[in-house]
Amino acid sequence: AQSVAQPEDQVNVAEGNPLTVKCTYSVSGNPYLFWYVQYPNRGLQFLLKYITGDNLVKGSYGFEAEFNKSQTSFHLKKPSALVSDSALYFCAVRAPSGGYNKLIFGAGTRLAVHP
Amino acid sequence: EAGVVQSPRYKIIEKKQPVAFWCNPISGHNTLYWYLQNLGQGPELLIRYENEEAVDDSQLPKDRFSAERLKGVDSTLKIQPAELGDSAVYLCASSLSRQNNEQFFGPGTRLTVL
C-alpha cells in the first residue's frame, strides 16, 4: 500500500540554523514526491517535487529536498532557517492509479523557527 | 492569475443540518479535487473530477456526501445531514490535467458541527 510517514510532529530550530524535515515513503514503482507548506488559515502551497533526474531538488523560498531511493526518503532541507518559515509542512507521494494523479499526504510536521 | 477560490471560509452548523461548500478552480484547470483535512492530519482525497466527470469518488461517504461539477468548471460539495464527526477543513484543489503533477489548493472551508 502507498503511504507517507513524517516521523516528527514538530521540529524546532533557531533562526539562521539549517533545518531538516523528514519524510519516508512506501510506493510501488517509481515515486513522484512532493512537499507542500501550509500557513495558518491558508491552503497548501507547492514547494517542490521530485519526478526523475537529480536526487537533489531545489524549490521555492530556498528549500530543497534530497531523494534517497535506498532509504526511501525525501527529506526537506534549508541551509538557513527564517522565522517566516514557521508553518506546517506536508510530504506527499503520487500513487500510480491508472494514470490518475492521486496524492497521499503525510500527517504533517510543524516547523517552529525561533529568533 | 487568481488562485483556487472557496466559499464560505468558515461555517458553523448544528448536527443534522445540511451544508454546502463551493469551489472555483484556476481558469483552464480541467481536474478538480475535494479533500478532507482533519485536525493534525494531512489532506485525504474525497473525490476527483476530470471536467464534469467524477473519476474517483471511492473515499466519498455517499450516504451523506454528494458533489457536482455540472459545467466542468466550479464545483459544489454537500453534506446532508451533517454529523459531529464531519467537523474538519474541506480543501479544494485543481490541476491542468490528470497527468499534471502540481495541484493548486484553495484556502479551505473550516466546518464546525455542533
The confidence score (pLDDT) of residue B67 equals 96
Contacts 24+ apart (CB under 8 A), B49-58: B49/B75, B50/B98, B55/A100, B55/B98, B56/A97, B56/A100, B56/A102
Of B4, B45, B102, the CB nearest to A102: B45
Of B40, B55, B106, the CB nearest to A100: B55
Q: What is the pLDDT of residues B13-33, one digit of tens each?
A: 999 999 999 999 999 999 999
Mean pLDDT of chain A: 91
Please give the average per-residue pLDDT across A88-98, as a whole number. 83
Is the CB of A44 less than 8 angstroms away from the CB of B91? yes
User: CA-to-CA distance for B6 and A2, rounded, in angstroms?
Assistant: 29
Task: Kindly tell me if the per-residue pLDDT of B45 is higher than 60.
Answer: yes
HSE of B77, CA atoms in CB hemisphere, 13 A = 32
The confidence score (pLDDT) of residue A28 equals 80
Task: Kindly tell me if the per-residue pLDDT of A76 is higher than 70.
Answer: yes
Q: What is the pLDDT of residues A46-63, one digit of tens each?
A: 999 998 888 999 999 999
Query: Distance from CA of residue A23 to its chain's centroid?
Result: 6
Residue A31: CB atoms within 10 A of its CB come to: 22
Q: What is the pLDDT of residues B48-105, one digit of tens each?
A: 998 999 988 888 998 999 999 988 899 999 999 999 999 999 999 999 876 666 889 9
Query: Which chain A positions have a beta carbon within 8 Å of B102's beta carbon?
Result: 46, 49
Specify the higher pLDDT residue, B50 or A21.
A21
Is the CB of A107 less than 8 angstroms away from the CB of B101? no
Please give the average per-residue pLDDT across A76-102, as a whole number. 87
The confidence score (pLDDT) of residue B101 equals 67
